[in-house]
């Protein structure tokens, strides 16, 4: 039978401050603090990309063989791409209304502006389209068929031919999977090209107002990419914009994938899905102090985020995590929480992706209480 699980009210109780040890609320949103992270990451991105443009446009650099050019530029490309990843994480907060908050129109506008600049401009990710699919992911996390952004294939059932061919090339796809998610929109629908009834489940039942809002974000991303390409030219664009963007893509896919994959992870169908129980199937991972810091607790505070995705800004996630873990232990639910040390994260994603891909064992899909056996 399914193990006992706390309710969302229980989890909210765990988050209450305990005076005199703490009097701060993890639900408090500080726009000044949120904006400071945005400005820091913007300076990181602009500075590193401008340095790349200058270096890769230099005549001495251009006289080098192409492979040597890439070797020279690679450290700065990795640095700039990591800055884009940090910026994406701030835009992620904005997508959950956690930079400004919902208290006033001005605060709501702050989230819209920060989200558009962080995602649509810097990360070339249409903010409003991403926000729509991401919300649907949160509402259906770890559901075997309804989870957005994640597709699952029952290992024992095999694969259709066209997917089987893709599976064979899986190791070559890692840097480009985010692009596949955004453009053709596998598995949810394109984030750039869409209209009512266009195909892609993320656009089902979309209203005209939201459709126009998503179109604005898409247009801004296309305009930004086109303008940069026109100004820089193909070579400088590839070296200074595309290469860092592929680093962002790798970070994003790696973190997202590993947050939702573990040896003990379970999936649920309509008969067994419970929002809180499914949230505890996600994984907190420690990537090391530096990566955790510039990723804004995206990895090591993920479980708390999935429980209260529109309530806790990233700078309060670790406090929330610690309070939830303490509450779970006190109430006898400690085994629900998953945490993995993942300092060797590149090797970890390569191993998981090669061995597990999007497969899930049939025994890990909990379809009804009578069949549910979780050890």
- The series of mean pLDDT values per 10 residues for the chain, 375 residues long, is 90 88 86 98 98 95 95 97 98 97 93 98 97 95 89 88 88 90 88 75 89 95 97 96 97 95 90 95 96 96 97 97 97 95 95 93 82 43
pLDDT of res. 197? 63
pTM of the model: 0.93
pLDDT of res. 163? 87
User: Cis omega (within 30 of 0) on the bond before 20?
Assistant: yes
pLDDT of res. 373? 45
Q: Please answer whether residues 151 and 145 qualify as being in contact, where contact means their C-beta atoms are separated by less than 8 angstroms.
A: no
Closest CA to 200 of 151, 273, 249: 151
**Ranges of H-type helices in 199-358:** 208-237, 243-259, 275-279, 289-294, 302-307, 317-331, 345-355
pLDDT of res. 372? 44
CA atoms within 13 A on the CB side of 315: 15
pLDDT of res. 367? 85
User: Cis omega (within 30 of 0) on the bond before 187?
Assistant: yes
pLDDT of res. 375? 36
Closest CA to 127 of 175, 188, 192: 192
Q: What angle do CA 151, 128, 307 make, to 5 degrees?
A: 60
Burial class (CB within 10 angstroms; exposed 0-12, middle 13-18, buried 19+) of 299 = buried
């Amino acid at each position: 039978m399914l193990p006992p699980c706390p309710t969302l009210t229980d989890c909210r109780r765990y988050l209450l401050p305990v005076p005199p040890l703490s009097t701060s609320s993890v639900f408090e949103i500080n726009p000044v603090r949120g904006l400071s992270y945005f400005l820091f990451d913007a300076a990181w991105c602009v500075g590193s990309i401008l340095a790349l443009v200058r270096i890769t446009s230099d005549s001495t650099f251009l006289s080098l063989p192409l492979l040597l050019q890439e070797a020279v530029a690679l450290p700065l490309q990795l640095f700039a791409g990591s800055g884009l990843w940090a910026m994406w994480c701030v835009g992620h907060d904005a997508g959950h209304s956690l930079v400004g908050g919902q208290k006033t129109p001005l605060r709501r506008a702050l989230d819209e502006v920060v989200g558009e600049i962080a995602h649509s401009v810097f990360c070339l990710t249409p903010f409003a389209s991403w926000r729509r699919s991401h919300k649907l992911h949160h509402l259906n996390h770890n559901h075997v068929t309804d989870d957005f952004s994640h597709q699952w294939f029952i290992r024992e059932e095999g694969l259709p031919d066209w997917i089987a061919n893709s599976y064979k090339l899986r190791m070559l796809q890692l840097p480009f999977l985010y692009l596949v998610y955004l453009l053709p929109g596998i598995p949810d629908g394109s984030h750039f090209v869409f209209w009512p009834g266009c195909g892609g489940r993320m656009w089902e039942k979309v209203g005209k107002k939201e459709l126009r809002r998503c179109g604005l974000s898409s247009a801004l991303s296309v305009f930004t990419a086109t303008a940069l390409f026109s100004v820089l030219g193909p070579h400088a664009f590839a070296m200074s914009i595309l290469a860092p963007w592929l680093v962002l893509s790798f970070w994003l896919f790696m973190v997202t994938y590993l947050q939702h994959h573990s040896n003990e992870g379970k999936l649920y169908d309509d008969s067994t899905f419970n929002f809180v129980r499914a949230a505890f199937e996600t994984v907190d991972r420690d990537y090391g102090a530096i990566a955790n810091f510039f990723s804004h607790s995206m990895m090591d505070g993920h479980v708390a985020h999935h429980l209260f995705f529109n309530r806790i800004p990233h700078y309060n996630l670790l406090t929330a995590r610690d309070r939830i873990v303490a509450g779970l232990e006190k109430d006898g639910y400690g085994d629900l929480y998953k945490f993995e040390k993942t300092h060797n994260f590149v090797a970890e994603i390569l191993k998981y992706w090669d061995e597990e891909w999007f497969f899930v064992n049939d025994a890990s899909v909990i379809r009804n209480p009578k069949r549910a056996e979780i050890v």
